[in-house]
Amino acid sequence: MVCHLQTCISSAISIRHSVQKQINLRTLAKSMASTDHGGGGEEVINNKQVFLNDYVSGFPKESNLYRTTSNIILKVPEEESGKDAVLVKNLYLSCDPFIRGRMQRDLPPDRPELSSYSLGSPIVGYGVVGDIEQPIVGYGVGRVVDSRHSDFKTGDLVWGNTIGWEEYSLITSPEYLFKINHTDDIPLSYYTGVLGMPGMTAYFCFFDIGSPKEGDRVYVSAASGAIGQLVGQFAKLIGCYVVGSAGSKEKVELLKTKFGYDDAFKYKEEHDLDAALKRYFP
């Protein structure tokens, strides 16, 4: 059985975002900042955000991003735009590989959840590519500051994919925001990894789509990544024979010594994948 992780990841992202609707946070923040709140009693504070400054070629540089500060009210708006909205204080942010991919120029716009970010857009909320207004996804962990949604109350810990690279996020359609039943023995940061999107993608793609059973022989590509390393460990837990591939000798060694793979190889040294798999699965 071969786990095609990129297909699984794309499917998971597409499903998560198919019904997601948000407002433009930059416009909202500007509107908030220009409103007189002197007699309203709401607290207005600075909200630091990370924006995309230039498209990335090769390894990302600090100059590709820049930090700015806007104002935000620590209260969900009372008007229609705030119906069912949740205001979150971000505690942990996840820097996932697909974010780097979307920092490239001229990606096809037919899949908004996988197309290019627009320059000057925060890594959160809305970006614009041509005439397409699209969510710029980001996963993270936060604490609810205010809520008009019946499923969330002030103080709740949450994780989800509408949290962005900023201190506070106003999430207007929290369909994919999940409440955390926190216990002290599990670090909150795990919800950006094994208990978050990487873990959910690995688990459901492997068990629901792959339908593995004890004794199966499993090959995992991109095996040292956040999802691949979990797929391999899940496979070992149910008694499969697992081989993975990675892009460097260091990663190959990591698969065999830390993540429990039965064997692993550097794919850059293999010119015929079928022949390589025959060697590793005699």
Amino acid 65: pLDDT: 86
Compute the distance between CA of residue 197 and CA of residue 169 in angstroms, rounded to an integer.
19
Residue ranges of the chain with per-residue pLDDT less than 50: 2-39, 124-136
Amino acid 41: pLDDT: 61
Same CATH topology for 18-189 and 212-280? no
Give residue-wise pLDDT tens across range 135-147: 345 789 999 999 9
Amino acid 19: pLDDT: 29
What CATH class does 212-280 carry? alpha beta
Q: Are strands 139-147 and 44-52 parallel, antiparallel or unpaired?
A: unpaired
With contact defined as beta carbons under 8 Å apart, do 231 and 258 qualify?
no
The H or E element spanning position 228 is helix 228-237
User: Domain spans of the chain?
Assistant: 18-189, 212-280
Amino acid 136: pLDDT: 46
Amino acid 281: pLDDT: 95
What CATH class does 18-189 carry? alpha beta
Residues in the chain: 282
Give residue-wise pLDDT tens across range 64-81: 888 888 899 999 998 877
- The answer for residues whose C-beta is within 8 angstroms of residue 149's C-beta and 6 or more apart is 84, 85, 86, 174
